[in-house]
Structure 1
């Protein structure tokens, strides 16, 4: 069995990636905390969405979980992928339900995509490590 050794990233690339991860973590802890705290503007926005206030709590909790995962070296990609899903939903919601500018959500989506792309090796190892499940009666 051969092993592939990836070349080390230049220092400035690693430092820039840590900076982006830290910035994203701060933004999502603040946004998630505001949702959990119940800032009136956010309560009104989630009322307008029509799914109920439970969705605000779930979204805020997931944003905080994603922010924490961004700061954990071996879980960074999971955090970025979780936050990408949340930001895709935010962009769609801004464009078709709430109105207003979707630019902040698009910027956060793009920054999370950069973090996920930088950790694409982790994604491959996560996929390989997960046990393959087959349907009963199916053979692979």
Structure 2
């Protein structure tokens, strides 16, 4: 086997399609933006920011739900910074954003634009990093 044959040979773990360089840069920019947004929101929730305490009191699910939501947001933010987890983190944050959008519309009766934008960005990250998510799933199937 020549060096070129070895370099072009793909193993099952590397056959997942990786984004091109430009898309990879765009995805990292989106991930950093999401990381900042969800880290700040998560910190506000777990540190009992008065606005968050009042908002979750209005939601009526209890303050335990505020803490849980904050922990999930922080976990997602951390996951966005870890290459092997960033696709899964994007998927989880997209799901959180769906819940936040539904809550904004039907419970709080507020404008859901921010949560919709966060959903779209998180979904783009999850889609763009789907190869990494597939690799992660395949590691656990073995």
Please give the range of the TM-score, normalised by the shorter of the 2 chains: 0.7 to 0.9
Kindly indicate whether the alpha-carbon contact (under 8 Å) linking 2:85 and 2:133 is maintained by their aligned counterparts in 1. no
In 1, Cα distance between the equivalents of 2:136 and 2:17? Answer: 20
Residue 100 (1) aligns with residue 102 (2): no
Which residue of structure 2 lines up, in the alignment, with residue 74 of structure 1?
84
* CA shift in 2, pair 1:57/1:71, >3 Å: same
Give me the TM-score of the superposition, normalised by structure 2.
0.83
Q: Within 5 Å, give how 1:1-140 maps onto structure 2.
A: 3=12, 5=15, 9-131=19-141
Aligned length: 132
Displacement, 1:122?
Answer: 2.8
* CA shift in 2, pair 1:87/1:7, >3 Å: closer
Displacement, 1:31?
Answer: 0.4
In 1, Cα distance between the equivalents of 2:70 and 2:19? Answer: 33
The answer for unaligned runs of 5 or more in structure 2 is 1-10
Provide runs of 4+ in structure 1 moved above 6 Å: none
Over aligned residue pairs, what C-alpha RMSD do you find?
A: 2.1
Name which structure has the greater RCO, CA cutoff 8 Å, separation 6+: 2
